[in-house]
Amino acid sequence: MINTERAQKFSANGVAVWFLWLYKSLGFQGASSHSGRRNFGTYCARRIGLVGGSLKDVQYLLGHSWISSTQRYLQANEDAQKEVVNIIHPNVK
């Protein structure tokens, strides 16, 4: 249970329903109680190398026991894939 400032208790499902109501009232489409978490995971994964980290660090940030759980959060970026191959091997087209 989650306590609010009014000492009411919410279940995890209650919080998810609240986020759904909030997003709809703001006019957001396709947002969920979990979409921010997925965006955070993807954002971290794309930048963790800049500070010397790895996907294992993103796994820990998200609190996942398994890297496969973390991988389900991450969105691929084809342009980034091509760019990293160019950095490693500049003559590949």
Q: Domain map of the chain by residue range? A: 1-33, 34-93
Residue 36 has pLDDT above 70, yes or no: yes
Residue 39 has pLDDT above 70, yes or no: yes
Question: Which of 20, 74, 83 minimizes the C-alpha distance to 42?
Answer: 74
Helix (H) or strand (E) holding 10: strand 9-10
Question: Which of 64, 54, 72 minimizes the C-alpha distance to 46?
Answer: 54
Percent of the chain with pLDDT over 90: 27
The pTM score is 0.61
Burial 64-84 (b: 16+ CB within 10 A, else e): beeeeebeebbeeeeeeeeee
Alpha carbon distance 1, 3 (integer Å): 7
